Amino acid sequence: MEFTEKHVEGLKDLLYRMADDLLILGHRNSEWTGLGPILEEDIAFSSMAQDKVGQSLALYEILHELGESDPDTVAFTRNDFQFHNCQMVEFPIGEYDFSLVRHFFYDHADALRFEALTETVFEPLQMVAKKFKGEIKYHTMHANSWLKQLANGSEESKIRMQQSINELFPHALGMFEPSNFEQELMESGLFIGEAALQQRWLDTVVPLLESYGYTVPTDAAPLFGGRKGVHTEYLQPLLDEMTEVFRIDPSAEW
């Protein structure tokens, strides 16, 4: 079918959501570098943070081909209200349980989103989705192993993890905030839509959490806003820090 302007707008919005989530969470998770609980985990978590920034670059490059500014400009010169990331990814890293649960919630959504996009009619995105399949599979394996481990670690580890699950669940649902282009994305075969994605995500994470022995909050209401540029007080300071070096000389060649 012919793409109208609204289809392209919807596609760009989808790409910005994904790329901004990855950039912001990648940056957040990299704050653990050097502070991870043990050396092996420090390396693994840092490496996955790097993967996320790399994935965001691939998506910003597609956006560039669609007429948006180049990746560096897009990543380093926008203010918080211009970012389409969900609020969950911008919160400070907190304690390790918080970061692990966020990683579990986010990476399962990321895996399912990319999996759905291996069937998008937009070929460049289909290629990227296929390219990162193995990388993302490892991220979910890592998250699953830790959630299982800490459910059976000590009484303290289980309580901490459960508290982070309860705290983050409404924010996790916020990942699936509908866009203004749901209809266009679905009818054109560009994307399955946020509602369908959320259902796939629930069908994946709820049985996993229950099998590890956690309780899943049933009365959680999604916390929206991020996708429309409404952010918490934590995003702008993150952007200021992330762009500190870039801003010294925006025209510098790296």
Partner 1 sequence: MKIVSLDPRVTRENIDAETLEGELQPLDHFETYEVFEQRKRGTHHVHVGNVHAPSHELAMVFAKEQYTRRGQCVNLWVVRTSDIFVTEYMDSDIFETTATKKYREPDAYKVIDRINAFKAREAAKNA
Residues near partner 1, by CB under 8 A: 35, 38-41, 43-44, 47, 138, 141-142, 145-146, 148-149, 153
Q: Can you give the length of the chain in residues? A: 254
Residue nearer to partner 1 on the CB measure, 88 or 136: 136
Cβ neighbour number for residue 13 with a 10 Å cutoff? 18
Nearest to 111 by CA among 21, 174, 24: 21
- In the complex, minimum distance from the CB of residue 95 to partner 1, in angstroms, rounded to a whole number: 12
DSSP-based three-state secondary structure for 189: coil
Cβ neighbour number for residue 160 with a 10 Å cutoff? 19
- In the complex, minimum distance from the CB of residue 234 to partner 1, in angstroms, rounded to a whole number: 17
Enter the DSSP assignment of 42: H
Residue nearer to partner 1 on the CB measure, 45 or 122: 45
Cβ neighbour number for residue 239 with a 10 Å cutoff? 23
- In the complex, minimum distance from the CB of residue 201 to partner 1, in angstroms, rounded to a whole number: 22
- In the complex, minimum distance from the CB of residue 40 to partner 1, in angstroms, rounded to a whole number: 4
Cα 73 to Cα 57, 69, 83, 128, 224: the distances in Å are 12, 6, 13, 21, 26
Residue nearer to partner 1 on the CB measure, 142 or 231: 142
Nearest to 82 by CA among 11, 165, 12: 12
- In the complex, minimum distance from the CB of residue 43 to partner 1, in angstroms, rounded to a whole number: 6
